[in-house]
Structure 1
Amino acid sequence: MRIVNNISQKMTDIHRPMDRALLRALFFMVAVFHISMFMWLPKAYADQVGGFNVLLAILFIWALCSTMIYSVGFKPVFWLWQVLFSPYISGVILVMFSCLYV
Structure 2
Amino acid sequence: MSNLADKVACLHAPMDKALLRALSLILGFFHVAMLMWDPEAYAFAIGGFNSVISPLMIWAICSSMVYGLSFKPYSWYWQILFSPYFSLSILSYLTYAYFY
1:20-99 to 2 correspondences below 5 Å: 20-99=17-96
Residue 46 of structure 1 deviates from its aligned partner by: 0.1
Could you tell me the TM-score, scaled by structure 2's length? 0.95
Name the aligned partner's letter for residue 61 of structure 2.
Answer: L
Aligned Cα RMSD in Å?
0.9
After superposing on structure 2, the runs of 4+ consecutive aligned residues of structure 1 that deviate more than 4 Å are: none
1:30-83 per-residue CA deviation (whole Å, 9 max, x = no partner) reads 111111011000000000001000211000000000100000010001000000
Distance 1:64 1:38 in 2: 11
Q: Which runs of 5+ in 1 are unaligned?
A: none
- Rg (Cα) greater in structure: 1
Q: Which runs of 5+ in 2 are unaligned?
A: none
Distance 2:17 2:87 in 1: 16
